[in-house]
Amino acid sequence: DLFVPTPLNQKKVLVTLLSKGRTNFKELPSYNVYESLLYTPNGSAAVNSIHKVIFVTTETAELSEATLAFKSYIEASGREVETYSIVINDKSLLDIQRQIEQLFIKLKGNYKPHEIIADYTGGNKDMSIALLRVSEKEVVVPIYLNEATTGNYSQFK
Protein backbone atom coordinates (compact mmCIF):
# COMPACT_ATOMS: atom_id res chain seq x y z
CA ASP A 1 0.00 0.00 0.00
CA LEU A 2 2.84 2.41 0.77
CA PHE A 3 4.24 2.27 -2.73
CA VAL A 4 1.13 2.49 -4.89
CA PRO A 5 2.19 4.57 -7.93
CA THR A 6 -0.67 7.06 -7.98
CA PRO A 7 -0.25 9.74 -10.67
CA LEU A 8 -0.05 13.31 -9.39
CA ASN A 9 -3.37 14.20 -10.99
CA GLN A 10 -5.11 11.45 -8.98
CA LYS A 11 -4.05 12.47 -5.48
CA LYS A 12 -6.86 13.17 -3.01
CA VAL A 13 -5.20 15.55 -0.55
CA LEU A 14 -2.88 18.47 -1.22
CA VAL A 15 -0.89 19.75 1.76
CA THR A 16 0.54 23.11 0.72
CA LEU A 17 2.56 25.83 2.42
CA LEU A 18 1.28 29.39 2.38
CA SER A 19 3.36 32.42 3.17
CA LYS A 20 2.35 36.00 3.83
CA GLY A 21 2.97 38.89 1.52
CA ARG A 22 0.79 38.25 -1.52
CA THR A 23 -2.34 40.30 -2.08
CA ASN A 24 -3.81 38.36 -5.01
CA PHE A 25 -4.37 34.64 -4.46
CA LYS A 26 -3.42 33.91 -8.07
CA GLU A 27 0.09 35.11 -7.19
CA LEU A 28 0.45 32.44 -4.49
CA PRO A 29 2.74 29.54 -5.48
CA SER A 30 0.11 27.24 -3.90
CA TYR A 31 -2.49 28.45 -6.40
CA ASN A 32 -0.30 27.45 -9.34
CA VAL A 33 0.46 24.06 -7.77
CA TYR A 34 -3.25 23.48 -7.13
CA GLU A 35 -4.18 24.40 -10.69
CA SER A 36 -1.46 22.16 -12.13
CA LEU A 37 -2.77 19.14 -10.22
CA LEU A 38 -6.24 19.48 -11.71
CA TYR A 39 -5.10 18.49 -15.20
CA THR A 40 -3.74 15.32 -16.77
CA PRO A 41 -0.46 15.41 -18.69
CA ASN A 42 -2.38 15.80 -21.97
CA GLY A 43 -4.17 18.90 -20.62
CA SER A 44 -7.64 17.52 -19.92
CA ALA A 45 -9.27 18.12 -16.55
CA ALA A 46 -8.82 15.43 -13.90
CA VAL A 47 -12.27 15.93 -12.43
CA ASN A 48 -11.95 13.49 -9.52
CA SER A 49 -8.58 14.66 -8.30
CA ILE A 50 -7.94 16.57 -5.06
CA HIS A 51 -10.81 16.25 -2.61
CA LYS A 52 -9.19 18.32 0.12
CA VAL A 53 -6.59 21.08 0.32
CA ILE A 54 -4.78 21.82 3.56
CA PHE A 55 -3.11 25.20 3.91
CA VAL A 56 -0.16 25.10 6.30
CA THR A 57 0.33 28.67 7.43
CA THR A 58 2.00 30.65 10.18
CA GLU A 59 -0.75 33.23 10.29
CA THR A 60 -2.40 32.74 13.66
CA ALA A 61 -4.72 35.68 14.23
CA GLU A 62 -6.26 36.30 10.83
CA LEU A 63 -5.81 34.83 7.40
CA SER A 64 -4.74 37.22 4.71
CA GLU A 65 -7.22 38.39 2.09
CA ALA A 66 -5.35 36.37 -0.54
CA THR A 67 -5.61 33.20 1.54
CA LEU A 68 -9.32 33.72 2.18
CA ALA A 69 -9.95 34.38 -1.53
CA PHE A 70 -7.99 31.25 -2.46
CA LYS A 71 -9.98 29.25 0.09
CA SER A 72 -13.26 30.50 -1.40
CA TYR A 73 -12.03 29.73 -4.91
CA ILE A 74 -11.26 26.11 -3.98
CA GLU A 75 -14.50 25.64 -2.03
CA ALA A 76 -16.49 26.93 -5.02
CA SER A 77 -15.25 23.85 -6.92
CA GLY A 78 -16.75 21.57 -4.27
CA ARG A 79 -13.48 20.76 -2.52
CA GLU A 80 -12.84 20.99 1.19
CA VAL A 81 -10.23 23.41 2.55
CA GLU A 82 -8.63 23.25 5.98
CA THR A 83 -6.15 25.70 7.47
CA TYR A 84 -3.47 24.25 9.72
CA SER A 85 -1.53 26.91 11.61
CA ILE A 86 1.95 26.34 12.92
CA VAL A 87 4.28 28.52 14.96
CA ILE A 88 7.75 29.13 13.55
CA ASN A 89 9.02 32.20 15.41
CA ASP A 90 11.79 31.22 17.82
CA LYS A 91 11.23 27.56 16.94
CA SER A 92 13.85 25.07 15.83
CA LEU A 93 13.51 23.09 12.65
CA LEU A 94 12.72 20.04 14.79
CA ASP A 95 9.90 21.96 16.55
CA ILE A 96 8.41 22.95 13.19
CA GLN A 97 8.75 19.38 11.94
CA ARG A 98 6.90 18.04 14.99
CA GLN A 99 4.00 20.40 14.32
CA ILE A 100 3.73 19.17 10.73
CA GLU A 101 3.98 15.55 11.93
CA GLN A 102 0.82 16.15 13.97
CA LEU A 103 -1.02 17.09 10.78
CA PHE A 104 0.10 13.86 9.08
CA ILE A 105 -0.96 11.79 12.09
CA LYS A 106 -4.43 13.29 11.71
CA LEU A 107 -4.47 12.68 7.94
CA LYS A 108 -3.49 9.03 8.31
CA GLY A 109 -6.87 8.39 9.95
CA ASN A 110 -8.66 9.08 6.65
CA TYR A 111 -6.10 8.79 3.86
CA LYS A 112 -3.32 6.46 2.79
CA PRO A 113 0.13 7.99 2.13
CA HIS A 114 -0.14 7.41 -1.64
CA GLU A 115 -3.30 9.58 -1.70
CA ILE A 116 -1.50 12.63 -0.28
CA ILE A 117 0.83 15.06 -1.99
CA ALA A 118 2.98 17.56 -0.08
CA ASP A 119 3.80 20.82 -1.85
CA TYR A 120 6.80 22.55 -0.35
CA THR A 121 6.96 25.32 -2.98
CA GLY A 122 5.54 28.12 -0.78
CA GLY A 123 6.39 29.02 2.78
CA ASN A 124 9.79 29.85 4.16
CA LYS A 125 12.87 27.63 4.14
CA ASP A 126 12.25 26.14 7.59
CA MET A 127 8.66 25.25 6.71
CA SER A 128 9.72 23.72 3.39
CA ILE A 129 12.49 21.64 4.92
CA ALA A 130 10.22 20.43 7.74
CA LEU A 131 7.47 19.44 5.31
CA LEU A 132 9.97 17.68 3.06
CA ARG A 133 11.41 15.72 6.00
CA VAL A 134 7.97 14.68 7.25
CA SER A 135 6.90 13.69 3.72
CA GLU A 136 9.93 11.46 3.39
CA LYS A 137 9.28 9.86 6.78
CA GLU A 138 5.58 9.27 5.98
CA VAL A 139 6.26 8.05 2.40
CA VAL A 140 4.19 10.91 0.96
CA VAL A 141 5.14 12.29 -2.45
CA PRO A 142 6.66 15.77 -2.08
CA ILE A 143 6.57 18.18 -5.01
CA TYR A 144 8.15 21.48 -5.86
CA LEU A 145 6.89 23.55 -8.76
CA ASN A 146 9.59 25.56 -10.52
CA GLU A 147 8.46 29.01 -11.56
CA ALA A 148 5.23 28.62 -9.56
CA THR A 149 4.69 32.36 -9.43
CA THR A 150 4.93 32.70 -13.21
CA GLY A 151 2.07 30.35 -14.02
CA ASN A 152 4.34 27.74 -15.63
CA TYR A 153 2.55 24.61 -14.42
CA SER A 154 4.71 22.02 -16.13
CA GLN A 155 7.96 22.21 -14.21
CA PHE A 156 7.49 19.69 -11.36
CA LYS A 157 10.53 18.25 -9.63
Q: Over the Cα atoms of the chain, what is R_g?
A: 15
Residue 119 pairs in a beta bridge with 16, 143
* CA separation for the pair 148, 34 (Å, rounded): 10
Contacts of 39 (CB under 8 A, 6+ apart): 9, 45, 46, 153
Cα–Cα distances in Å, from 61 out to 18, 41, 80, 121?
A: 15, 39, 21, 23
pLDDT in tens, the chain (157 residues): 455 566 666 688 999 998 776 778 888 888 888 888 887 666 666 666 889 999 998 865 456 788 889 999 999 989 999 999 998 888 999 999 999 999 999 999 999 888 899 999 888 889 999 999 999 999 888 888 875 445 444 444 4
